[in-house]
Amino acid sequence: MLTQTLKELEENGLVKRTVTPVTPPQVEYALTDLGDDFLRPVRTLAEWVAANSDRITAARSSYAELRVND
């Protein structure tokens, strides 16, 4: 799963894979400029979710109560 995700991130230009030819092989991943650009709005979204998690939880609870009473 992780291997496939890393391959897809590399394919989409979000990370760069560097292999150091030692035994055992050493592989490092780093964000590309595109990956760094992508991270900014994702981080903003994560911050919004964290700031509003109580409201989201309350909305889910209200919805669940409505469904039970239908």
Distance in angstroms (rounded) separating the CA atoms of residues 21 and 39: 30
Quote the number of domains for the chain. 1
Distance in angstroms (rounded) separating the CA atoms of residues 47 and 55: 14
pLDDT greater than 90 at residue 50:
yes
Average pLDDT over residues 6-33: 97
User: What residue numbers bound the domain in which 21 lies?
Assistant: 2-68
pLDDT greater than 90 at residue 70:
no
Is the pTM for the entire model greater than 0.75? no
Tell me the pLDDT of the chain averaged across its residues. Answer: 96
pLDDT greater than 90 at residue 21:
yes
pLDDT greater than 80 at residue 69:
no
CATH code, domain carrying 58: 1.10.10.10
